[in-house]
Amino acid sequence: MKMIDIKDGPKQVSRIILGCMRMPALSVSDAARMIETASDLGINFFDHATCYGDGEAELRFGEAIKQTSLKREDIFLQSKCGLHFDRKEFDWSKKDILESVDGILQRLQTDYIDALLLHRPDLLYDPEEIAEAFDILEKEGKVKHFGISNVMPLQIELLKKYVKQPLIFNQLQFSLDQSQLIDSALYLNNKTTEYSIDRDNGVLDYCRLHDITVQAWSPLQIGMFKGCFVDHPDFPELNAVLGKLGEKYGVPKTAIAIAWILRHPAKMQAIAGTMNPDHLKDICDATKVDLTHNEWYELYLASGKFLP
Ligand SMILES: NC(=O)c1ccc[n+]([C@@H]2O[C@H](COP(=O)([O-])OP(=O)(O)OC[C@H]3O[C@@H](n4cnc5c(N)ncnc54)[C@H](OP(=O)(O)O)[C@@H]3O)[C@@H](O)[C@H]2O)c1
């Protein structure tokens, strides 16, 4: 496993994170096996959110971890709050943040989480309230580090005007299929392609400038939750290159797709959401591969982009 030190944050965390969004589908013993497999592969970082299975993912993890040999201090537990699909609203109010963390700690059966991210933005967010909530959570020792997810540069700047704690992570969608984080820089000012559309106000370079580690979510998904592009018939050219490089490096295609993310100099983490131990082993082979500059471009072009 490749590890990374996070500026103003934890040291030696794994470049691959196990995302637990799909954990509610597992029994407690299968979840324990998944967590143990991840740990054996060198993963020490687990991602949650209050909305994953409406709390079921955190509940399952909290029960399952007791059946493993892992110690609390050896793992990095992250969760996110603010998404309330049940209430049909997003909520970053002080009250909701504080209540959410209490629920997270109860479900995960722990005294603290290592990181709390504000999930997708609440359009009615008040940064002063958020600052107050973060101060309380830090003082009470319930949260060690803070971050955001799917948040644009100016919103981060506004948060930083009030929030004292460093915002160390921004979780964003990024994959060979969903590469809009980088596309607009290449096609700048080009009216002939929609790849030139800046959809996030340059959030990747903003994060690099401000030492915010990007966590790439859904690294293998087509669009938003339409399945995996590896071995999918709609992606013949991409799969041909994934297969060719897989043979060269002696790893599965999924490993090459993840290695493409890890090769980016922003030093992102990739959040793998598989709940299949064999698939996770394949994915972790990504850390054995260092793609060349040219191979990185070959994959990017095979995913349907072109050089302007
Ligand atoms: N911040 C946000 O807004 C946000 C949004 C979405 C997700 N996330 C985070 O990102 C994590 C990952 O999301 P995700 O699960 O959508 O994305 P993913 O890791 O890209 O998984 C996509 C699909 O790939 C499949 N897959 C993996 N390896 C495979 C293989 N070797 N062969 C065939 N299929 C394979 C998985 O199915 P199998 O289970 O069958 O392997 C899974 O259904 C989540 O758990 C969550 O922590 C964050």
* Ligand 1 centroid from CA 254, angstroms: 11
- Check whether 224 has a pLDDT greater than 90: no
Q: Are 255 and 243 in contact (CB under 8 A)?
A: no
Q: In whole angstroms, what is the distance from residue 43 CA to residue 183 CA?
A: 29
Q: In the block, which residue shows the tokens 């915002």?
A: 167
Mean model confidence pLDDT for the chain: 97
Question: Do the domain assignments include residue 302?
Answer: no
As for how many domains the chain has, the answer is: 1
Strand-pairing partners, residue 269, are 215
Percent of the chain with pLDDT over 90: 97
Chain segment 146-157, per-residue pLDDT in tens: 999 999 999 999
* Ligand 1 centroid from CA 221, angstroms: 6
Q: What is the pLDDT of residue 153?
A: 98
Q: What is the pLDDT of residue 107?
A: 98
Q: What is the pLDDT of residue 204?
A: 98
Report the CATH number that the domain containing residue 31 is assigned in CATH. 3.20.20.100
Q: CA neighbours within 13 Å on the CB side: how many for 252?
A: 13
- Check whether 223 has a pLDDT greater than 90: no
Question: Do the domain assignments include residue 290?
Answer: no
Confidence label for 30 from pLDDT (cuts 50, 70 and 90): very high
Angstrom distances, CA of residue 179 to CA of 57, 87, 151, 199: 28, 31, 16, 11
- Check whether 123 has a pLDDT greater than 90: yes
Catalytic-role residue among 52, 125, 206, 300: 52
Question: Do the domain assignments include residue 255?
Answer: no
Residue numbers of the domain that contains 154: 14-232+264-281
- Check whether 226 has a pLDDT greater than 90: no
Q: What is the mean pLDDT of residues 20-24?
A: 97
Q: What is the pLDDT of residue 83?
A: 95
Cβ-in-10-Å burial (0-12, 13-18, 19+) of 200 comes to middle
With a 6 A CB cut-off, is 217 part of the ligand 1 pocket? yes
Question: Do the domain assignments include residue 5?
Answer: no
Nearest to 168 by CA among 202, 134, 219, 127: 134
Sequential DSSP letters for 126-171: -HHHHHHHHHHHHHTTSEEEEEEES--HHHHHHHHHH--S-EEEEE
Q: What atom of ligand 1 comes closest to residue 80's alpha carbon?
A: 1
Question: Do the domain assignments include residue 65?
Answer: yes
- The three-state secondary structure class of 220 is coil
Question: Do the domain assignments include residue 308?
Answer: no
With a 6 A CB cut-off, is 2 part of the ligand 1 pocket? no
Sequential DSSP letters for 12-24: SEESEEEE-TTGG
Q: What is the pLDDT of residue 173?
A: 97
Taking the CA atoms of 50, 19, 71 and 140 in sequence, report the sign of the dihedral they define.
negative
Confidence label for 76 from pLDDT (cuts 50, 70 and 90): very high
Confidence label for 194 from pLDDT (cuts 50, 70 and 90): very high
Nearest to 8 by CA among 246, 233, 167, 215: 167
Count Cβ atoms below 10 Å from residue 296 Cβ, excluding itself: 14
* Ligand 1 centroid from CA 228, angstroms: 8
Question: Do the domain assignments include residue 7?
Answer: no
Q: What is the pLDDT of residue 225?
A: 83
Question: Do the domain assignments include residue 133?
Answer: yes
Output DSSP code: residue 289: -
Chain segment 258-300, per-residue pLDDT in tens: 999 999 999 999 999 999 999 999 999 999 999 999 999 999 9
Residue 227, Ramachandran bin (φ over 0: left; ψ between -120 and 50: alpha; else beta):
left
Chain segment 33-44, per-residue pLDDT in tens: 999 999 999 999
Confidence label for 179 from pLDDT (cuts 50, 70 and 90): very high
Q: Is 52 a catalytic residue?
A: yes
Backbone angles phi, psi at 9, to 5 degrees: -140, -155
Q: What is the pLDDT of residue 252?
A: 98
Ligand 1 atom 34 nearest Cα: 228
With a 6 A CB cut-off, is 274 part of the ligand 1 pocket? yes
